[in-house]
Structure 1
Amino acid sequence: MIRPRPVFVLLLLLPLLVLFTACSAPEPAPDERPSPAVRWRPAPGTAWQWQLDGRVDPVVDVPVYDIDGFENDAAAVRGLHRQGRKVICYINAGAWESFRPDQRDFPASVRGRENGWAGERWLDIRQLDILRPLMARRFDMCRDRGFDAVEPDLMDAYLNDTGFPLTARHQLAYNRMLAALAHARGMSVGLKNDLPQVPQLVDDFDFAVNEECAQYGECERLKPFVAAGKAVLHVEYALEPSVFCARTGRLGLSSMRKRLDLGVWRRPC
């Protein structure tokens, strides 16, 4: 009787071994599961347009548009997508706005002092149980209209006179909640200002949006985003591009000058 060779036996048993391994392998932990999709992440130096005044005008030839989520519907977003552009949904996450369609959903208990803009009051970001579902509905609006990302505004309430005893810890919890809401909906999210917390939050956010870091000598604080391969979308209002472009360009920022009304006009570096 001829004995089967070991290699031949292994070949016969291999399908059974594969089946046994597949059936007995433990399920990966939830945080180990692969992400269903890779989120869009703008690279350092990406040119952009920031228009919050009314319905978007697509006249500027840049790959990224940051526009008001309430003022621009799905058709406007589709139009920008047809032109090959990514679109960021601006919403106010740090203040109640009397002129928004959902303004009645915010109870008086979360409305603080006026923040200097007409019709706006700071929000009590400690009250996550109230604000989370309200912000979730705004993020749902951004997702349903087809936006690629979200720019939540006023993410540094703890540095301001809001009428509430807010701390850096409250702000970290709130900002991370906003990032999680965006990511759960498949959108990327930008950290707006809040420079003191960049080291703690750079891993939670996909890009940064900054106002006037050159005027206040703070642009170096945004280097962790660039080092992580994440864009810093930067504007100045008072300084001429000749004053700041060389420096912010060396840092890898996507810089331009805008007027405070954030209309179509822009003067990029």
Structure 2
Amino acid sequence: MRRPFLLVPLLALLLAACTAAPGPGADDAAGAKTPAGDRWRPRPGTDWQWQLSGRLDTSVDVPVYDIDGFDHSEETVAKLHRDGRKVICYLSTGAWEDFRPDADDFPESVIGRGNGWEGERWLDIRRTDVLEPLMAERIDMCREKGFDAVEPDNMDGYRNRTGFPLTAGDQLRYNRLIARLAHERGMAVGLKNDLDQIPELVDDFDFAVNEQCAQYGECAELTPFVEADKAVFHVEYELTTDRFCADSRRLGLSSLLKKYELDAWRQAC
């Protein structure tokens, strides 16, 4: 989850859900397991583009795109594949969004406090009996669109005021559940933020996505992913590139400067 930017009005972003196409040798049946070696595994330093709002610009010359799954079609993913790109599907797994087509499928009992973004509220991740089938349907949707990977957002509710007494153990169980759902469908999956639990979760995820680790002096905490030969896709919003790119290169991060609205604009290290 992007850290709320309080100096400008919050934008009602259409943030989204997504997952990805099965790797080579994946079974076509929904939920079928793919051998771990067949999943896409981005390596440290892989360049990328992250765009969750505005008209999608498919001309950025990078090997990886991370886009909103609800907003984009199978045809869009196929076009990016024809251009030689892997495509990551953004999906909020830890927060309810009132603008999603499946919003009414979430019972009020699992919807908690707002998370700082318009139309979004934390979910009670302890209720896997309710959330697992809902998240499986979202991941199935994105798999059918051909995505290569999932970027599940809001994966650190236990550190926030969610309205529920969530613990670190609850978060570990839920994050591993999301990773399993993606892997069973032949897709890679990234750990979004949740820096404190990286040592416990690095083996469960294929890459990491991080926001603002340089601004908050946290980037070294992502080293376990790089040491495991797994990419760390990183963005800053408020620092200029001369304040973080040297450290990003030293640490092996794939770093961008982006605007909070996550439109097409980018500056890469």
Whether contact under 8 Å (2:192, 2:208) holds in the other structure is yes
Q: Which has the larger radius of gyration?
A: 1
Q: Which residue of 2 aligns with 1:17?
A: none
Amino acid at match of 2:231: A
Q: Which residue of 1 aligns with 2:163?
A: 163
The percent identity for this pair of structures is 67
Q: Quote the Cα distance in structure 2 between the aligned partners of 1:45 and 1:62.
A: 12
Q: Cα distance, 1:36 vs. partner? A: 7.5
Secondary structure of 2:165's aligned partner: coil
* Pair 1:76–1:166, CA change in 2 (3 A): same
Task: Give a deviation string over 1:63-113, Cα, whole Å, max 9, x none.
Answer: 000000000010000000000000000011111000000000000000000
Amino acid at match of 1:147: F
Q: Quote the Cα distance in structure 2 between the aligned partners of 1:88 and 1:150.
A: 5
Secondary structure of 1:50's aligned partner: strand
Instruction: Return 5+ residue gaps in structure 1 as ranges.
Output: 1-32
Q: Cα distance, 1:34 vs. partner? A: 9.0
Q: Quote the Cα distance in structure 1 between the aligned partners of 2:126 and 2:186.
A: 25
Q: Give the TM-score normalised by structure 2.
A: 0.86
Whether contact under 8 Å (2:34, 2:183) holds in the other structure is no
Whether contact under 8 Å (1:54, 1:71) holds in the other structure is no
Q: Cα distance, 1:250 vs. partner? A: 0.3
Whether contact under 8 Å (1:156, 1:171) holds in the other structure is yes
Q: Quote the Cα distance in structure 2 between the aligned partners of 1:114 and 1:212.
A: 21
Task: Give a deviation string over 1:4-35, Cα, whole Å, max 9, x none.
Answer: xxxxxxxxxxxxxxxxxxxxxxxxxxxxx992
Q: Which residue of 2 aligns with 1:198?
A: 198
Q: Which residue of 1 aligns with 2:186?
A: 186
Cα root mean square deviation, aligned: 1.2
Q: Quote the Cα distance in structure 1 between the aligned partners of 2:205 and 2:83.
A: 26
* Pair 1:152–1:36, CA change in 2 (3 A): closer
Q: Cα distance, 1:248 vs. partner? A: 1.1
1:177 equivalent to 2:177? Answer: yes
* Structure holding more helix per residue: 1
After TM superposition, the runs of 4+ consecutive aligned structure 1 residues lying more than 4 A away are none
Q: Which residue of 2 aligns with 1:16?
A: none
Secondary structure of 1:203's aligned partner: helix
Q: Give the TM-score normalised by structure 1.
A: 0.86
Q: Which residue of 1 aligns with 2:139?
A: 139
Secondary structure of 1:263's aligned partner: coil
Q: Cα distance, 1:54 vs. partner? A: 4.1
Whether contact under 8 Å (1:54, 1:68) holds in the other structure is no
Secondary structure of 2:204's aligned partner: coil
Task: Give a deviation string over 1:23-69, Cα, whole Å, max 9, x none.
Answer: xxxxxxxxxx9927510000000000000004522021100000000
Instruction: Return 5+ residue gaps in structure 2 as ranges.
Output: 1-32
Q: Which residue of 1 aligns with 2:56?
A: 56
Whether contact under 8 Å (2:110, 2:127) holds in the other structure is yes
Q: Quote the Cα distance in structure 1 between the aligned partners of 2:155 and 2:34.
A: 30
